[in-house]
Amino acid sequence: MITIDLSGKVILITGALGSIAEHMVRRLTEAGATLVLTDIKSAEEASEKLRGWRIPCSSYVYIPADITDSSQVNRVVGTAFQKFPQMDTVIGHAGGCGLHPFASTSEDEYERIFRFNYFAQTYLARSVLAEWMKRNIAGHLIFTSSYVARMPHTQIPSYSSAKAALENLARSLALEYALTGIRVNVVSPGNVAAGSSLKVFDEDPAYREFVLRVSLGRRNSPESIADTFVFLCSPLAVEINGQILSPDYGAGIGNRL
């Protein structure tokens, strides 16, 4: 039996207090990793939530930040490297949306969704990659995307476009930094029974009917998504670079007739 031991590894996670992130934090902590967590919620709110998840205080450092503000991203990354100078794994997990049809979504709201799901990830990448280059660390940057990057839906045009851009960015960075030893990969879930995916599933009957017709007709569990991140953070994945891993129950294949 193969076991994954992440003892001694420090991992930074953005969007760390969400419903899918809960299972990522649990799994990575159980594997022995020390986590640097950031989210927009206050330190007090984070402490209460993490206590409810039964995450030991000794296992994490929490830094509140709005990741759509590049200066706040730089502050989080700088603080993390000051405390953990050899940190070599970063997960850009923050993202999400509600339903936002193009015709009825304002310009400001459309751009806000895109900025949160794409440009905020570029801020993270710039800051982290600069630290790794300066410190000569062969780091691993992992983004969270979605299968809608390749199978767009009419109700979420900004989100699906942002995720498509993010996947292309990840592959571009993987190529650009390959000779430094830095790797960039993406986890691209299907419809997860948690978070914004669950919100859209519950709100849109057409989307719900579509989801239940794809491949196995099931939604992903958040635990399965967390397991994919644990794998990518482990030594088992050291030769994976520039890839889109899709724990999606086959949703990316298409619809059954």
Q: Provide the annotated active-site residues.
A: 159
Q: Give the 3-state DSSP-derived string for the chain, with helices as H, strands as E and coil as C.
A: CCCCCCCCCEEEEECCCCHHHHHHHHHHHHCCCEEEEEECCCHHHHHHHHHHCCCCHHHEEEEECCCCCHHHHHHHHHHHHHHCCCCCEEEECCCCCCCCCCCCCCHHHHHHHHHHHHHHHHHHHHHHHHHHHHHCCCCEEEEECCHHHCCCCCCCHHHHHHHHHHHHHHHHHHHHCHHHCCEEEEECCCCECCHHHHHHHHHCHHHHHHHHHECCCCCECHHHHHHHHHHHHCHHHCCCCCCEECCCCCHHHCECC
